[in-house]
Amino acid sequence: MARLCAREGERIVMAAFGGPQDVAVKGRGNVVTAADLASERAICDILAAEYPEHSILSEETAASAEGEEWMWVVDPLDGTHNYAHGIPFFCINIALCYREEPLLALTYEPIRGEEFRAQKGEGAFLNGERMAASRRESVQASLVAVGLGYDDQRAGHILDLLRDLWPGMQSARIMGSAALGLAYAACGRLDLFVHHVLFPWDIAAGILLVREAGGAITDRDGGPMSIRSEGTVAGAPGAHADFLRLAAGRAWR
């Protein structure tokens, strides 16, 4: 069912990609397109018809489903700023949670047709092939990616931290899609992904992808990660521990 939802979202967002966009501004750097809303409606309609007893928590409606046992968590278009500017780096993000614990995850990137999928206890897969997180042991050896989000102060702290650590890493990237950042950390394309300001629809799928791929994922303080965590550090277990050690004592939170 998650795959059906992702393909329907793909049909909608790809039909409009690259052309003039109907864009509304939710805040500085935070936009929503007509494709976001149409994709969300289509996905939520499918899920509501198939699982009427389940709740749905999605980005554009931001419906509250806290306390529900079975809950679908949906981002119909993650990386909207990239999408609206014609940058081909965005995805559709879907997770099924039981008591807010992700059990099923699907992150679908329609430009390359890449499906990142995981089921709790069954491993993580990229287009059907088992994937694994990086095994880098240090930040020095790592490709580190960050997301800036919509909190200007915290985004500034992340940039300051990168400057403090530079050149003590292989390189750095700013992703523009938290969901793909976590998917890339799960499959080893990124050694570390760090973000300060996140929402359940950004991370529910990624939490399970990283865990099932053998990666480490915590909140930004190194504590247990949940779909309600505000930030994350994810990726290679060794590099993850090294990052937390290096970041300790720095004013980056």
CA pair distance 185, 165, nearest whole angstrom: 20
Note whether 200 and 57 are within 8 A (CB): yes
For residue 93, what are the β-bridge partners?
75, 107
Q: What is the percent of the chain where pLDDT is above 90?
A: 72
| pLDDT recorded at residue 74 | 96
- Domain spans of the chain, in order of start: 2-130, 143-247
| pLDDT recorded at residue 35 | 87
CA pair distance 197, 229, nearest whole angstrom: 9
pLDDT in tens, 194-233: 998 899 999 999 999 999 999 999 998 899 999 999 899 9
| pLDDT recorded at residue 154 | 85
Q: What is the percent of the chain where pLDDT is above 70?
A: 90
pLDDT in tens, 41-99: 999 999 999 999 999 999 766 555 555 789 999 999 999 989 988 999 999 999 999 99
Beta-carbon-side half-sphere exposure of residue 226 (alpha carbons within 13 Å): 9
| pLDDT recorded at residue 103 | 98
CA pair distance 117, 131, nearest whole angstrom: 10
CATH of domain 2-130: 3.30.540.10
- Parallel, antiparallel or unpaired: strands 101-109 and 114-119: antiparallel
Alpha helices in the chain (DSSP H): 2-16, 34-50, 80-84, 152-165, 178-187, 200-212, 237-247
Task: Please give the average per-residue pLDDT across 159-165, as a whole number.
Answer: 90
User: What would the two tokens of residue 155 be?
Assistant: 């985004």
| pLDDT recorded at residue 24 | 58
CA pair distance 206, 218, nearest whole angstrom: 12
Q: What is the mean pLDDT of the chain?
A: 90
**Better-scored residue on pLDDT, 120 or 155:** 120
143-247: CATH topology: D-Maltodextrin-Binding Protein; domain 2 (3.40.190)
CA distance between the termini of the chain: 38
| pLDDT recorded at residue 67 | 57
Task: Please give the average per-residue pLDDT across 150-179, as a whole number.
Answer: 91
**pLDDT above 70 for 151:** yes
